[in-house]
A and B are shown apart, each in its own frame.
Chain A
């Protein structure tokens, strides 16, 4: 299938990022460090091409299948990665982002026909791509703040153990920088997530009425949003960071993963018209 070709090219370039992330657990490899950024950057370009192509093929910007959604999320994550990189020169979020992006892209590109003609539901809900885009940005931000809180823990442990500045993990950004990345992502992600959820609710109510809100997907999303808010609040008010912030971020991220996975068992929120 033609639409998958560019996605697979992107996938193989993302593979370099995956190797980089894996190699870092054995102390990092110089060659990989040098070629990783150009490789994944190029991968992103091909990825973009594949998304455009896909949209033209299916006639809508809205992903029409779980795989299309995966591809889109992977792309947003990569955009996020490069924004953070441009601002902080930090490549270490890649340790978590690259494997995830690879896995999402792999899943998206391994099905013969990712772009069935759009189900009528997507055509009828004209504004749904706004909902999708906002939520995906919110997810990415949450994921980044989750990574940042893990990196914060690692760096904190590094500094406390006083073993000096050795090997790969010594190249982590300064503790304050990691903290800032986490916090900024949280702050920037929150409005997107909130607006995305509101947009989804309005669209759903218009289409299905109130029965929609008893759906597990929606309940999980609500839970995720609540934890997200608690995270922001504790950080803002009490300056929580380090261990406690990491627990909360993990919890929020877990809720987000469940909400994402709920697409597969939700009665209403799925890619087949009810």
Chain B
């Protein structure tokens, strides 16, 4: 068993690369299935958010995850190589813990990532791609995330994308009073950002979504108005702030739309918050007079600015993570010897039963008391013989030569051949 993580995030790769790797929700099951069909991959899950695309897997040594990433997404290794990170074992465990605890987030301490990891985990589990190893890793990761959140103040002053968006909107519009927010796409992130903007004074909300019912539902909760998705461009000029988060593969707003909006709005400024990956607003729209386009990477740049005060809390969180990684590693190691102990006991038990069966014929009729005595004696011998190997196995998990000891015992008792190959 081998934990491995491979992927890209907002630090390692520019948006252009992340866009090419992003897995839409609908495609996620397919990606997971292809992953676990890779030779050497025992278990696996795929995490794809605005800021990261990661494969977490439990593999045999030889599994080629990098090759999978390249071939599945049709991206050449030359493009990937500079941007990809890869972790194994302890480092992989640490990385998963850090991601779940939001220490690796664009906005450190934001709480959305934990939900996203949980969702990715649930999808993979539903497909039967997760068994004992990843199960142990992920459930521990969720516990660690909870611990980090409750023991540090990292989440309390969390400057989420939403509040960065508010801060920028205020830099443009001064007060948000009387301003109109237009949600294009009605995902959770967009909803959260909209709530922030409203809390800071934005007065009108318009929502457009491919699934119109969802837009209507959200419009009701905001006291806003839902617009059918095909009327998006006719109605967009009402908006001061446009918040896009759809899964569209091509930009919804391009320069020509921007030009038209600018005329329709008589040059009043307009703020595009584009949290979609791939982007919903073409970056060139930002070049138009009075049009401001911020994608997730740009929001990060601003968020990093605010991150200073949270740095101390993040350091404390890192210490917790380090401790938890140690604990998890030693637990995994002791877990690793459990099958050996079991098969050792099983092996001896088989021998004992065989010997009893063989001797029974020679003994003739025996009383139940005698039968019980034989049973007790043979068990006693086996337990005493096994006592030292088992305690050695259990206590040696932290020993530098643990693996050698483990392997030696398996060989001495011939435990490797008896098992059917998986």
Contact = CB atoms under 8 A, between A and B. Distances in A.
Interface in B289-319: 289-290, 292, 294, 298, 301-302, 304-305
Interface in A164-180: 164-166, 173-177, 180
B307 to A, nearest CB: 11
A160 interface: yes
A243 B290 CA distance: 9
B146 interface: no
Interface size class of B (residues with CB under 8 A): 20 to 34
Nearest to B172: A175
B290 A176 contact: no
A165 B289 contact: no
B11 interface: no
Given A238-B266, A240-B267, A164 B305 contact: yes
Contact of B305 (A165, A180, A244): A165
Interface size class of A (residues with CB under 8 A): 20 to 34
Q: Give the residue among A164, A174, A240 with the most B Cβ atoms within 10 A.
A: A164
A162 B289 contact: no
A175 to B, nearest CB: 5
Given A239-B267, A240-B267, A241-B267, A162 B294 contact: yes
Given A174-B172, A175-B269, A176-B173, A164 B301 contact: yes
Given A159-B171, A174-B170, A175-B269, A165 B292 contact: no
B168 interface: yes
Given A238-B267, A240-B267, A159 B172 contact: yes
Given A239-B268, A242-B289, A175 B173 contact: yes
Contacts of B286: 160
Given A238-B267, A241-B267, A176 B172 contact: yes
Q: Give the residue among A175, A240, A241 with the most B Cβ atoms within 10 A.
A: A175
Interface string B29-40: 000000000000
B364 interface: no
Given A163-B301, A238-B266, A156 B290 contact: yes
A174 B171 contact: yes
Contacts of A244: 289
Nearest to A170: B171
A159 B172 CA distance: 8
Contacts of B294: 162
A175 B301 contact: no
Contacts, number: 56
B174 interface: yes
A173 B292 CA distance: 17
B304 A164 contact: yes
Contacts of B290: 156, 241-242
B83 to A, nearest CB: 21
B370 to A, nearest CB: 87
Nearest to B303: A164
Interface string A229-252: 000000000111111100000000
Contacts of A156: 289-290
Contacts of B292: 159-160
Contacts of B265: 239
Q: Give the residue among B167, B170, B268, B290 with the most A Cβ atoms within 10 A.
A: B290
Given A176-B172, A242-B289, A162 B301 contact: yes
A166 B304 CA distance: 12
Interface string A70-88: 0000000000000000000
A165 B170 CA distance: 12
A145 B286 CA distance: 25
Top 4 nearest A-B pairs (CB, nearest first) are A239-B266, A174-B174, A239-B267, A176-B174
Interface of A: 155-156, 159-160, 162-166, 173-177, 180, 238-244
7 contacts: A156-B290, A163-B301, A165-B167, A165-B171, A176-B172, A238-B267, A240-B267
